[in-house]
Amino acid sequence: MIRRALIALGSNIDPERNLPAAAARLAAHPDIEVAAASGVYESPPLGRPGDPCFHNAAVEVETSLAPAELRAELRRLEAEMGRVRGDDRYAPRPIDLDLAAYEGFAGDVDGSPVPDPEILERAFLALPLAEVAPDWHDPALGRSLGEIAASFDAARERVRRLPGRGLGWPPGA
């Protein structure tokens, strides 16, 4: 069965190269079809003020993979792109791929809740997700992504959409 899922992408090591490369790798996967991609948002790093800013984006995909299988593929792609997971959850990284939401599923996937409750707390997560799926309404979140994104003051949160910057998806965009 084909399901929709939302994937959050982030990078603060060569993000101009790594975010589009991650979107292309997702699109090349035989069990994942990228349906929509957001623009790129910039935000300061959490917990490490001296580090480079993060660039964040989101894609909506259609997939035959179950939530745990999709999460495993995201971790595999991260590792292929040089991501090393350590104890510091705020460490700089070439790529971060998170399963933010999965159609018809609410629960735990390998220790992480889906949908991601941080959507309600982090503008850098909510804004790109709302750009690709503003009407996505997950009962666990209680509101649509568009409503959640509208509740943030992007300037106060220090999140800005980078003009003219996208993931290069669809190709040629």
Active site residue 93: yes
Q: Tokens 């910057």 identify what position? A: 165
Active site residue 96: yes
From the candidates 14, 71, 76, 96, which is the catalytic residue?
96
From the candidates 98, 116, 122, 138, which is the catalytic residue?
98
Separation between Cα atoms, residue 53 and residue 63, nearest integer Å: 31
Active site residue 75: no
15-28 and 67-80 helices cross at what angle (nearest 10)?
A: 140
Active site residue 135: no
From the candidates 4, 25, 88, 93, which is the catalytic residue?
93
Residue 30 burial class via C-beta count within 10 angstroms: exposed 0-12, middle 13-18, buried 19 and up? exposed
From the candidates 25, 31, 75, 83, which is the catalytic residue?
83
Which residues is 36 bridged to in the sheet? Answer: 60
Q: Which residues are catalytic?
A: 83, 93, 96, 98
